[in-house]
């Protein structure tokens, strides 16, 4: 596999020079959309941590997908792909430039855009909450365990997006979204089936005890259960809370490794697809 830092640098520069106007406009558009939604939630009095998280991660993942769709767009364009494919660079260099832009720089720039917008919306939110004698909401903490998981998940999603934009020549974005939905559905079905297999639907016979465990920090190496009460096989009530069952360190490590291995595997697929790409 060929790699040269010099060519990598040239390719990165080329990508920047040819797309800087697009990136500038994109950054402006993202700022506008973020401000609109965050201010909307602030005025609605609902700019708590969950809403901040939702705004951040939706923008990060979907916005990132849209951004990634531009990285290989010339390969799908019949007038541009000839020159693009014949540029003296290796598939590895091409993939690494896409990863640097889509997986590393995009989240940094997005975060840099997000926090000033959040700060502006937070002022509005704090004033409105103070009027109702409520304490101010905290800021979203990107260092929290669950946040780290979602940032890792974002790497996988963007790597998957890169694969999709190489796989599909026409209507790549629409097809990538459909592929993601299909994949998510498959995951949900497999996940539910596996859990049912692991934990058959039997009445709990032992005593249940609750204790605090920072399960989100162990990369979802836990399974959530809902407390449901039944009478004559009919659900009479359920508690809107989950009990997390820690699956143990080996499972947690496995899940953690999966988050790291998946993007790497997908990047490998990107290199192979670039290599076998024909006009």
Partner 1 sequence: MITVSQLSFTYRKGRSVLEDLSLQLEAGHICGLLGRNGTGKSTLLYQLCGLLFPVKGSCEVLGFRPGRREPEFLQQVFLLPEAFYMPDVTVESYLGTYTPFYPAFDREAFYQYLNTFEVPRDAQLRRISHGQQKKVLISFALATKARILLMDEPTNGLDIPSKRQFRKLMAGNLLPGQLILISTHQVKDLDSLIDEVLILDDHRIILHESVDRITEKLAFHQVMEPSEVPGLLFSEGALKGYAVVAQNTDGEHTKMDMEMFFNAVLAEKPQVLPLFNR
Q: Choose between 80 and 248: whose C-beta lies nearer to partner 1.
A: 80
* 3 state DSSP class of 243: strand
**x-or-dash pattern for partner 1, window 23-62, by CB under 8 A?**
----------------------------------------
Query: Among 10, 62, 173, 259, which residue sits at the site for partner 1 (rule: CB under 8 A)?
Result: 10
Query: 65-102 burial, b if ≥16 CB within 10 A, otherwise e?
Result: bebbbbbbbbbbeeeebeebeeeebbbbbbbbbbbebb
Cα 216–229–193 angle (5° rounding)?
55
For partner 1, which stretch binds (CB under 8 A), given 88-96, 116-124, 165-173, 185-193?
A: 88-96
Q: Please report which helix (H) or strand (E) contains residue 279, including its range.
A: none
What tokens appear for 247 in the block?
């699956």
Query: Among 24, 80, 214, 248, which residue sits at the site for partner 1 (rule: CB under 8 A)?
Result: 80
* 3 state DSSP class of 133: coil
Q: Does 94 bind partner 1 (CB under 8 A)?
A: no
Q: Count residues binding partner 1 (CB under 8 A).
A: 27
Q: Does 70 bind partner 1 (CB under 8 A)?
A: no
Query: Among 77, 138, 141, 246, which residue sits at the site for partner 1 (rule: CB under 8 A)?
Result: 77
What is the smallest separation between the CB atom of 83 and partner 1, expressed in angstroms? 6
- Distance from C-alpha of 221 to C-alpha of 235, rounded to nearest angstrom: 28
Q: Find the helix packing angle between 172-198 and 145-167, rounded to 10°.
A: 130
Q: Does 12 bind partner 1 (CB under 8 A)?
A: no
For partner 1, which stretch binds (CB under 8 A), given 71-79, 96-104, 148-156, 202-210?
A: 71-79
Q: Choose between 16 and 139: whose C-beta lies nearer to partner 1.
A: 16
Q: Choose between 81 and 158: whose C-beta lies nearer to partner 1.
A: 81
**x-or-dash pattern for partner 1, window 220-259, by CB under 8 A?**
----------------------------------------
Q: Choose between 93 and 125: whose C-beta lies nearer to partner 1.
A: 93
Q: Does 86 bind partner 1 (CB under 8 A)?
A: yes
Q: Token match 């106007």: residue?
A: 21
Contacts of 279 (CB under 8 A, 6+ apart): 81, 82, 85
184, burial (CB in 10 Å: exposed 0-12, middle 13-18, buried 19+): exposed
Query: Among 83, 210, 237, 240, which residue sits at the site for partner 1 (rule: CB under 8 A)?
Result: 83
Contacts of 41 (CB under 8 A, 6+ apart): 47, 51, 55, 121, 125
Residues that bind partner 1 (CB under 8 A): 2, 4, 6-7, 10, 13-14, 17-18, 21, 74, 77-80, 82-90, 275, 278-279
């Amino acid at each position: 596999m060929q790699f040269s830092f010099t060519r990598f640098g040239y390719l990165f520069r080329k990508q920047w020079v040819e797309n800087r106007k697009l990136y500038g406009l994109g950054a402006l558009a993202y700022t506008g959309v973020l401000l609109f939604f965050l201010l909307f939630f602030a005025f609605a009095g609902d700019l708590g941590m969950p809403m901040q998280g939702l705004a951040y991660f939706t923008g990060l993942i979907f916005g990132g997908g849209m951004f990634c769709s531009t990285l290989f767009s010339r390969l799908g364009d019949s007038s541009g792909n000839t020159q693009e494919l014949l540029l003296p660079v290796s598939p590895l260099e091409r993939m690494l430039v896409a990863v640097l832009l889509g997986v590393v720089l995009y989240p940094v720039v997005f975060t840099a855009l997000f926090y000033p917008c959040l700060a502006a919306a937070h002022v509005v939110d704090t004033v409105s909450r103070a009027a109702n004698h409520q304490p101010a909401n905290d800021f979203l903490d990107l260092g929290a365990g669950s946040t780290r998981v979602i940032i890792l998940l974002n790497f996988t999603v963007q790597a998957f997006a890169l694969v999709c934009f190489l796989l599909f020549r026409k209507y790549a974005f629409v097809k990538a979204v459909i592929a993601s939905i299909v994949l998510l559905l498959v995951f949900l079905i497999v996940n539910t089936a596996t859990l049912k297999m692991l934990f058959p639907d039997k009445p709990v016979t032992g005593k249940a005890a609750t204790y605090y465990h920072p399960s989100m920090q162990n990369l979802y190496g836990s399974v959530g259960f809902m407390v449901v009460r039944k009478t004559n096989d009919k659900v009479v009530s359920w508690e809107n809370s989950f009990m997390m069952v820690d699956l143990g360190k080996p499972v947690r490590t496995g899940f953690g490794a999966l988050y790291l291995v998946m993007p790497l595997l997908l990047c490998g697929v990107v290199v192979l697809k670039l290599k076998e790409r024909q006009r």
